[in-house]
Amino acid sequence: MPFLPVLLWTDILIYLLLSVVVASVFYVRRRPHLIAPWKFVFQKKRGVISVMILLCYVAIGVMDSVHFRLALPSDEKSKTQHYSTEVLTVLDVLVMPLRQQLEKTYSSPFATRLFMREMQQSESGTVTFDYAKLKYAGAHLDNEQDKTADIQNTVIKSTISALFIWFVAVIVVMFWWAKKHEINWKQVVNKFRLGQSSYPVRTCFLMLLVLLVFFFNLIALSASYHVLGTDKVGQDVLYQALKSVRTGLVIGTLTTLVMLPFALFMGIAAGYFKGWIDDLIQYIYTTLNSIPGVLLIAAAVLMLQVYMNNNPDSFATIAERADMRLLFLCIILGLTSWTGLCRILRGETLKLRESDYVLAARALGAGGLTILHRHILPNLMHIVMIAIVLDFSGLVLAEAVLSYVGVGVDPSMSSWGNMINSARLEMARDPIVWWSLTAAFISMFTLVLAANLFADVVRDAFDPRMQASV
């Protein structure tokens, strides 16, 4: 086999999460009362825009979650196949040049020379103290003065091809629409152009255009330049930012996945059974809430660090080690953050258990379990949904803070927090190295903003008071 698939713990959980999402999409499609709020989400312009941006992030994150180890060139003597100790992902393969084109040290975005001067010997033998040429960026240029023209050329070309692809996509969608609804394609064009559809189709197409132009340019430019510069060891900052996407998403989603069973189980149990169970659960979460979360997280992560240092054999690769730490971080973040949701669910359950339809079910002889799973759980789901989406952006930001403090993800793993942490020293330099921090900031900001907008729309859609007025 030319490669050995590697299943990291977080990968398994991500696949699990994806399959749950796909399954619930199918489940929801058949239930009108569940699909109605989602339709509302997609009928809002904000909703469509944020979903499209989030999907880009998710696509990057998922590609970065298919791990494998490439086979080493086989030895004539031994029959056993050996694999590289380096764990790669599909994303790594796709952006291999970014990964491999290492410069010597810092270089600013779109630079053709290093950021600082160094002693170098020319062919004639004279030693000069100057900015050295970069190995890869702009290497195809005969003359460095052509850089601006070359960038312009690339931008124009890739923008035109993006427009072309966009045009083809729009036409395909329109024909598909015309065929599906058996109407004249002219009517379809009119309908889309005038915005008569119940969904914001125009916004959707415009956003698609923006995304296509952005990605085409990024790909074309990053082939010959370091679009976001390089860091201290000469690694492309764009590559780091891309690799950080998965870390952010994993922290944002898996933490909720870890916390959800606790919050659901404890919240419902406290609200439904009342009495001493309620007291016990309330005491647990008020106690847990009064311990500073960072303290718990630091303690847990440091303990894990000690364990991993003492048992280096348990982990085949560095990636596995880093992954274990990431998973642990998710778990400990989840354990400290379930109390808020639990409290809300308890309150809602207290209200629901007294509702007329629960009384009616009891009068019909339904048992406790039936009532819990048929009457109470489904009516809590909208709260869970809102909580998940709202927590997501908070967790992504929490990761950045924790990594900055040093108790976050493994230093070998790229994450926005680590990028910021390393940029801390660069900020003190003169002239300032600003691009690492900016790259982390922009990519994190876009994700969190999109997630917040999405959360906003989801909250509106699932809030029963909103539904009543619609």
Partner 1 sequence: MSSALLEVSGLKTWLGRVDQPLRAVDGIGFTIQRGETFALLGESGCGKSMTALSLLGLNPLPVSRIVDGEVKLAGLDLLQLSEAEMQAIRGRRIAMIFQEPQSSLNPVLSVGEQISECLNLHFDLDAKASQQRVIELLESVGIPDPLQRIKEYPHQLSGGMKQRVMIAMALAGEPELLIADEPTTALDVTIQAQILELLKTIQRDTGMAILLISHDLAVVAQMADHVAVMYAGQIVETASRQQFFEQHQHPYTDKLFQALPSEQKRDQRLTVIKGSVPVLTQDFKACRFVERCDHAWDLCRTTPPLWTEDNDHGVRCHLFNQDADVERTMLPQTQYSSPLSEVLPAERNVLTVQNLKVHFPIRKGVLQRVVGQVRAVDGVSLSLKHAETVALVGESGCGKTTVGKGILQLVPVTDGDVEFHGHRLNGLPERALKQHRSSLQIVFQDPYSSMNPRMTISQIIEEGLSRKQFTKDSEAKEKRINELLERVGLRAEIKHRYPHEFSGGQRQRICIARALAAEPEIIICDEPTSALDVSVQAQILNLLREIQHEFGLSYLFITHNIAVVNYLAHRVAVMYLGRIVEQGSRDDVLHTPKHPYTQALLAAVPELDLNTTEEVTRLEGELPSPAKPPKGCHFHQRCPQAMPKCLESYPEHTQLSTSHEVRCFLYEESE
For residues 23 to 42, the per-residue mask of contacts with partner 1, x marking binding by CB under 8 A and - elsewhere, is ---------xxx--------
- Amino acid of residue 298: A
| CA 396 vs CA 49, 55, 445, 446: distances in Å | 20, 16, 10, 12
Apex 26 CA angle, 20 and 27, nearest 5: 80
Q: Would you count residue 361 as binding partner 1 (CB under 8 A)?
A: yes
Q: Would you count residue 357 as binding partner 1 (CB under 8 A)?
A: yes
- State the minimum distance, in angstroms, from the CB of residue 374 to partner 1: 7
What is the biggest distance separating any 2 CA atoms in the chain, rounded to whole angstroms?
99
16-24, 75-83, 220-228, 356-364 -> range binding partner 1 (CB under 8 A): 356-364
Other beta carbons within 10 angstroms of residue 189's beta carbon come to 15
| CA 264 vs CA 273, 294, 342: distances in Å | 14, 24, 6
d(CA 88, CA 330): 22
d(CA 70, CA 2): 6
Residue with tokens 């303290």: 295
Q: Which of 366, 394, 411, 459 binds partner 1 (CB under 8 A)?
A: 366
Q: Would you count residue 363 as binding partner 1 (CB under 8 A)?
A: yes
- State the minimum distance, in angstroms, from the CB of residue 377 to partner 1: 9
Within residues 215-274, the interface with partner 1 by CB under 8 A covers: none
Q: Would you count residue 359 as binding partner 1 (CB under 8 A)?
A: yes
1-9, 102-110, 371-379, 399-407 -> range binding partner 1 (CB under 8 A): 371-379
Q: Which of 362, 385, 411, 456 binds partner 1 (CB under 8 A)?
A: 362
Give the nearer residue to partner 1 in terms of CB position, either 166 or 462.
462
Q: Would you count residue 120 as binding partner 1 (CB under 8 A)?
A: no
Give the total of residues touching partner 1 (CB under 8 A): 20
Strands 127-133, 3-6: pairing kind: unpaired
- State the minimum distance, in angstroms, from the CB of residue 379 to partner 1: 6
**Residues 10 and 323 sit within 8 Å (Cβ to Cβ):** yes
**Residues 257 and 13 sit within 8 Å (Cβ to Cβ):** yes
- State the minimum distance, in angstroms, from the CB of residue 194 to partner 1: 13
Residue 279 phi/psi, 5-degree rounding, is -60, -50
Q: Would you count residue 356 as binding partner 1 (CB under 8 A)?
A: yes
Give the nearer residue to partner 1 in terms of CB position, either 32 or 292.
32
Within residues 377-396, the interface with partner 1 by CB under 8 A covers: 378-379
d(CA 30, CA 207): 29
Interface ranges with partner 1 (CB under 8 A): 32-34, 355-357, 359-367, 374-375, 378-379, 469
